[in-house]
């Protein structure tokens, strides 16, 4: 069998396996139902036991909740009757969803438009390798069902927009914001205000996390705290800035805790307060934040934010950020100042005398780099120009170039944006023939050497 | 006046990647009074090493930065007019969006 035949066979077997597993869990659930019905009508005809509406199976499954004086039968019964929507089945949503399913949230909604990628799996612990390339909603829903087949799991395989948000969010009691970008965060908060839903909001990046509950019991909404959106450059994503997997895991678990408290009507939800996690120094601080703002455009005294206005609001324009963040693609240079990754491949093959400067940060350069490249991060470029001059001179000597001709200077980065900024700087500083590699190392991996690791 | 200043959510990158700064600020005119407005301009001059526009906009912090004085949102203490006292802890934190 060829590799592609094996892959096809594997795919079809995995499909069949998933179908069989689904059938097994459906039959098991059916069997439990039958047992429950039999339990409810004992053969000897005696009256049913007083269990506050919980079935025998529920009492067994949730027994450790029921024994908690502060939670008890009432807390569990409230939870079983509640519905929670998790927006985003990523690093925050993954643990939150697992705990919601396990704890018996009656109806659990999942909305996401992405597919599972290998570089998600270090933090998005709900997904398994078998689901790489498949929709996150499908993967997360299957995991939730395998944890608890007695709850209802609803799949929304789509992106959240102003056109569908009101309809989807209105079907749930509590909304959990587990998304990864500014426009969606404003969109969800405004929609929760319009619909009067509590919002459990979490965020994580790098080694830090933040958590609070918005629009709960007269507390502030997202806009009360952040009436103006931050500049685009202040909003890094996990894909750009990196994130330690366990950090969103912790925040996601805390989101589950807050939502479960609200759903069960126990304890004090984290409204009017914000939890700040600094994982590196091992510090958690809980700070007091402002209350509802009278002047808030969404929830203030004279606010006119209606369903109609929500539907028409342009969140991408407001935050100057696209909802679906495509990788930034700058085009700052004329064509003659650029070469393709394939052309650079030719240059290596023909041993053309040249120097390759890699302008990524040093910790990126350590992950992987092209042979003989010189790492000068963009932020230090101006100060380190003499190093480039001497590298060019050495290359000219080593390759025995006749005086008068010179070695060429090329610049590369991860995706081909910073390399253009570097070329602009180099041109200004006298390296007028310097060129960048279009699309950077990602293009190299894509078009020249598929074995080159990408990150 | 001795203060502890903390930067988080990425703002520490603007001041040598150092999160906690124990500082001693000399009051002008020998006055024993320091407001958040004074502190912001002191921070901008003395601690912010790059891209000041990522920290301030006009005479206040840029949108998306939370300011906490002794673990309390500065909105509750008078924002720029908040007066600071010896040993106060002031936190500047950029809101996160990732997940």
**Average pLDDT value for chain A:** 92
Which residue, among A184, A207, A226, A234, would best test binding to B if mutated, counting the most B CBs under 10 Å from its CB?
A234
The overall pTM is greater than 0.90: no
The residue among A178, A156, A174, A142 whose CA lies nearest residue A111 is A156
B2 touches chain A (CB under 8 A): no
Q: What distance in Å separates residue A317's CA from the closest CA in chain B?
A: 16
Q: What distance in Å separates residue A177's CA from the closest CA in chain B?
A: 9
Judge whether residue A402 has pLDDT over 80: no
Q: What pLDDT, on a 0 to 100 scale, did the predictor assign at position A64?
A: 97
Q: What pLDDT, on a 0 to 100 scale, did the predictor assign at position A42?
A: 47
Predicted confidence band at B50 (pLDDT cuts at 50, 70, 90)? confident
A306 touches chain B (CB under 8 A): no
Q: Do B64 and A226 touch (CB under 8 A)?
A: yes
A185 carries a ligand binding annotation: no
Q: Do A276 and B8 touch (CB under 8 A)?
A: yes
Query: Beta strands of A57-157 (E only): which ranges?
Result: 83-87, 107-111, 152-156
Judge whether residue A231 has pLDDT over 50: yes
Q: pLDDT by residue (tens digit) across A105-162?
A: 999 999 999 999 999 999 999 999 999 999 999 999 999 999 999 999 999 999 999 9
The stretch A183-209 carries a mean pLDDT of 97
Q: Read out DSSP for A373-403?
A: -EE--GGGTGGGHHHHHHHHHHHHHHTTPPT
Q: Are A264 and A71 in contact (CB under 8 A)?
A: yes
Q: pLDDT by residue (tens digit) across A90-105?
A: 999 999 999 999 999 9
Q: What pLDDT, on a 0 to 100 scale, did the predictor assign at position A24?
A: 85
Q: What distance in Å separates residue A33's CA from the closest CA in chain B?
A: 38
Q: What pLDDT, on a 0 to 100 scale, did the predictor assign at position A293?
A: 94
A383 touches chain B (CB under 8 A): no
Under the phi-then-psi rule, with left for phi > 0, alpha for psi from -120 to 50, and beta for the rest, what region is B64?
Answer: left
The residue among A380, A49, A397, A286 whose CA lies nearest residue B72 is A286
Q: Do B97 and A209 touch (CB under 8 A)?
A: no
Q: What pLDDT, on a 0 to 100 scale, did the predictor assign at position A44?
A: 45
Question: How is residue A358 written in tokens?
Answer: 């890699």
The residue among A55, A48, A127 whose CA lies nearest residue A89 is A127
Q: Do B98 and A248 touch (CB under 8 A)?
A: yes
Q: What pLDDT, on a 0 to 100 scale, did the predictor assign at position A39?
A: 55
Q: Strands B2-8, B20-24: parallel, antiparallel or unpaired by DSSP?
A: antiparallel
Does the domain formed by B2-94 have CATH 3.10.20.30? Answer: yes
Q: What pLDDT, on a 0 to 100 scale, did the predictor assign at position B30?
A: 65
Tell me the ipTM for this assembly.
0.94
Which residues are A83's β-sheet partners? A107
**Average pLDDT value for chain B:** 93
Q: Read out DSSP for A280-338?
A: TTTEEEEEE-----TT-TTTSTT----HHHHHH--HHHHHTS-SS-PPP----S-GGGE
**Of A144, A235, A238, A253, catalytic:** A238
């Amino acid at each position: 069998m060829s590799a592609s035949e094996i892959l096809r066979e594997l795919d079809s077997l995995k499909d069949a396996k998933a179908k069989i597993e689904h059938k097994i869990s459906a039959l098991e659930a059916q069997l439990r139902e039958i047992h429950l019905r039999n339990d409810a009508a004992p053969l000897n005809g005696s009256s049913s036991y007083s269990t506050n509406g919980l079935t025998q199976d529920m009492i067994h499954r949730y027994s450790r909740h029921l024994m908690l004086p502060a939670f008890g039968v009432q807390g569990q019964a409230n939870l079983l009757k509640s519905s929670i929507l998790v927006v985003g089945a990523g690093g925050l949503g993954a643990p939150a969803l697992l705990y919601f399913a396990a704890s018996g949230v009656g109806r659990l909604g999942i909305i996401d438009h992405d597919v599972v990628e290998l570089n998600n799996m270090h933090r998005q612990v709900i997904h398994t390798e078998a689901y790489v390339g498949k929709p996150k909603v499908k993967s997360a829903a299957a995991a939730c069902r395998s944890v608890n087949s007695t709850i209802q799991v609803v799949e929304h395989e789509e992106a959240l927009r102003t056109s569908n948000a009101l309809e989807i969010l209105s079907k749930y009691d509590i909304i959990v914001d587990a998304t990864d970008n500014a426009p969606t965060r404003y969109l969800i908060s405004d929609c929760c205000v319009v619909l009067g839903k509590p919002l459990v909001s979490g965020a994580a990046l790098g080694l830090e996390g933040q958590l609070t509950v918005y629009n709960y019991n007269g507390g502030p909404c997202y806009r009360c705290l952040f009436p103006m959106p931050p500049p685009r450059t202040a909003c890094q994503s996990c894909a750009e800035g990196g994130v330690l997997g366990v950090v969103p895991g912790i925040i996601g678990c805390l989101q589950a805790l807050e939502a479960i408290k609200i759903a069960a009507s126990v304890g004090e939800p984290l409204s009017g307060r914000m939890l700040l996690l600094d994982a590196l120094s091992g510090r958690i601080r809980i700070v007091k934040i402002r209350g509802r703002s009278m002047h808030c455009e969404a929830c203030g005294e004279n606010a006119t934010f209606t369903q109609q206005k929500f539907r028409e609001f342009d969140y991408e324009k407001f935050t100057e950020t696209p909802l679906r963040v495509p990788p930034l693609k700058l085009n700052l240079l004329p064509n003659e100042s650029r070469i393709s990754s394939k052309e650079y491949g030719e240059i290596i093959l023909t041993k053309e005398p040249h120097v390759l400067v890699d302008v990524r940060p040093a910790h990126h350069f350590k992950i992987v780099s092209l042979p003989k490249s010189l790492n000068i991060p963009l932020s230090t470029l101006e100060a380190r120009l003499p190093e480039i001059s001497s590298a060019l001179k050495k290359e000219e000597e080593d390759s025995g170039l006749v005086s008068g001709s010179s070695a060429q200077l090329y610049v590369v980065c991860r995706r081909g944006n910073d390399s253009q900024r570097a070329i602009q700087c180099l041109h200004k500083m006298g390296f007028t023939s310097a060129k960048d590699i279009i699309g950077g190392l990602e293009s190299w991996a894509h078009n020249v050497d598929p074995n080159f690791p990408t990150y | 006046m001795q203060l502890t200043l903390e930067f988080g959510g990425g703002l520490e990158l603007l001041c040598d990647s150092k999160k906690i700064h124990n500082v001693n600020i000399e009051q002008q005119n020998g006055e024993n009074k320091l407001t958040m407005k004074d502190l912001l301009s002191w921070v901008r001059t003395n601690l912010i090493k790059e891209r000041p526009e990522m920290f301030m906009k006009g005479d206040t912090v840029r949108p998306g930065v939370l300011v906490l004085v002794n673990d309390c949102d500065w909105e509750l203490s008078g924002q720029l007019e908040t007066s600071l006292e010896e040993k106060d802890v002031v936190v500047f934190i950029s809101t996160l969006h990732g997940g």
